[in-house]
Amino acid sequence: MKKYFYPVFLMIVLWSCDNSGPGFPEGEVVGYRPVYSSDVDLTISMGEAREIVNTGKIFRQGDIVLLNEVSEGVHFINNADPINPVNLGFLTIKGSTDMSVRGDVLYVNQYADIVALDFSDLQSISEISRQKNAFEVVSSAQLTPPQSGYYFECVDGSRGQVVDWQLTTITNPKCYR
């Protein structure tokens, strides 16, 4: 009896699978559009302090605390009085997910690039160097949108790396997750 159970169970499971997919609509639908590295603004700029939402790594350099806001940039906080820290400003670095500090140099990724920034003068943070495509980021997250149950524009590898997904109106989608 046992030797027949697994083959019969497997046949039932396979018959119950629906591999036909959702079908692909013509015209406009809500779905995901890939954002390619070639489409993003790589400007790095210091601005006003802002609310801390999605924290990553944290470093201290003297009285200054650097706090990574994942995919957005770095908060600079004066921690001379730990009971009353003062948020000094926010350095916008789109695509940043990791950072390190050595002296007055902030090393941070910006999508696939590694960027070295001199922050000895917070009013005039400057880029020291940038190594393009230092990281080859290839993951399933780049090839499909973050949520299932949506149509999406299929990834076109000739346009560069996918660095994000935007939920928007798309036309005649040919991919679904």
Interval 47-105: pLDDT, tens: 999 999 999 999 999 999 999 999 899 999 999 999 999 999 999 999 898 999 999 99
Report if residue 2 sits inside a domain: no
Half-sphere exposure of 86 (CA within 13 A, CB side): 5
Q: Do 102 and 159 lie in a common domain?
A: no
Instruction: Tell me which of 133-137, 139-143, 158-162, 167-171 is least confident.
Output: 139-143
Model confidence band, residue 158 (pLDDT cutoffs 50, 70, 90)? confident
From CA 1, how far away is CA 71, in angstroms rounded? 56
**Strand pairing partners for 118?**
105, 126
Containing structural domain, residue 109: 40-131
Per-residue confidence (pLDDT) for residue 144, from 0 to 100: 82
Report if residue 164 sits inside a domain: yes
pTM: 0.68
Kind plus residue range of the DSSP H or E element containing 60: strand 55-61
Report if residue 81 sits inside a domain: yes
Q: Do 85 and 156 lie in a common domain?
A: no
**Which amino acid belongs to residue 122?**
L
Model confidence band, residue 171 (pLDDT cutoffs 50, 70, 90)? very high
* pLDDT average, residue stretch 112-116: 92
From CA 64, how far away is CA 58, in angstroms rounded? 11
